[in-house]
A = this chain, B = another copy of it.
Amino acid sequence: MDRRVLLASAVPAALTTAALNSGTPATAAPRRPRADDVLQVRDIGSFHVGGRAVTLTGAPLRDAFAGPDQPPAVIDPNGDFEVGQVYVQYCALARPVSPHPLVMWHGGGLTGVCFETTPDGRPGWQRDFLGHGHDVYLTDALAGGRAPFARYPELSGAEPRFRTKRELWELFRFGPAGSYTTEPGHRAPHPDTLFPTASFDTFVKQVVPRFTTYTEATQHAYGALLDRLGTSVVLTHSAAGPLGFAATLAAPHRVAAHVAVEPSGAPDPDTVDLASIRHVPHLIVWGDHLGLDDDPGGSWANLYSSTRRFHDALLAAGGQSTWIDLPDHGVTGNSHMIMMDRNSRDVADLIASWLRRHGLG
């Protein structure tokens, strides 16, 4: 089934790429970039933001096992370090369609890689949104990937979680509970899953140990990032969803829009000033198999409800928030990793259209 057709016909006309393009005379406006055009890149690079200088003192000498062919090495772990910094990687175009950078914040146990090429080799959202003419900034945060972690537990506060393949398979909703097996050929994904499950083991290669003790440092670094970049479109996924909501509340003038893809919850609306973010458009996107009906007490259903409460309260406060349940628009089978699912480009197009409607693309 052609999911692009489904998406175009089922999503409200205002949100479809086709509807947005249909009224544009060929000669009246600059030609919109096409997805696979050669990119005109002004610059490509990276930097770190946030973090702080920390001195470890008083830790005992360690009998560090240096490796299987080497004798134990006694080391002194004390000294000066940098802790909590976030990595930022950018690709800036010669003629971007918006003065506002598009920054993408990954979730727990992942890195900016999740927005790059999909595990089955298709262009990722970095490429898709560059194709739409946006300057794209990816980050590594939460002490994952190129955001280094410090010695634990001394400087990290806790050890990280090393999620097993089974945990990832079930948590990211590639298949129901009990459907994971070590042997790839015996796994039983959701029959309609859009995740390229034949590439699941490849996907796992990008999963990093998940720290839970770097949230505050990351929030701080993200605030510094928005100060440095100026007003940006913030696209968040999963555990970064709360970081996006918080960043918007902390600096409403710095967030042109917040696109929250399967956010793992939102603030309690009674505890925050929603009026202050009334002018910031929000787009909240959900996939499938959330267990809303058959597992209403489950973790996904809880995060979904928490986010819905925020969305409703934001609207009631005069704010702008668009809620999209892809299955309600005839698009079934999306997993938690929407940016990797086989309709990832369609969803990118939908988000890009929404941005254009808000003057941001």
Contacts and interface: CB of A to CB of B under 8 A. Distances in A.
A148 B206 contact: yes
B126 A65 contact: no
A300 B22 CA distance: 65
B80 A148 contact: no
Contact of A158 (B40, B67, B126, B208): B67
A157 B48 contact: no
Interface string A165-176: 111000000000
Contact of A206 (B45, B48, B123, B151): B48
Interface stretch (A82-90, A251-259, A266-274, A330-338): A82-90
Interface string A47-78: 11001010100000000111110100001011
A70 to B, nearest CB: 8
A167 B233 CA distance: 40
A146 B43 contact: no
A27 interface: no
Contact of A146 (B51, B111, B202): B111
Contacts of A213: 67-68
Interface string A142-176: 00011011110100011101101111000000000
Contacts of A81: 162, 164-165, 204
A39 interface: yes
A20 interface: no
A138 to B, nearest CB: 10
Contacts of A151: 162, 209
Contact of A164 (B70, B79, B111): B79
Contact of A182 (B45, B80, B207): B80
A112 B39 CA distance: 22
A44 interface: yes
A303 B64 CA distance: 24
A29 interface: no
Contacts of A87: 113, 206
A70 B164 CA distance: 22
B79 A44 contact: no
Nearest to A73: B161
9 contacts: A39-B44, A44-B44, A47-B117, A53-B182, A64-B158, A77-B162, A79-B167, A80-B165, A82-B205
Given A38-B41, A81-B204, 5 more contacts: A44-B91, A44-B127, A47-B121, A68-B213, A81-B162
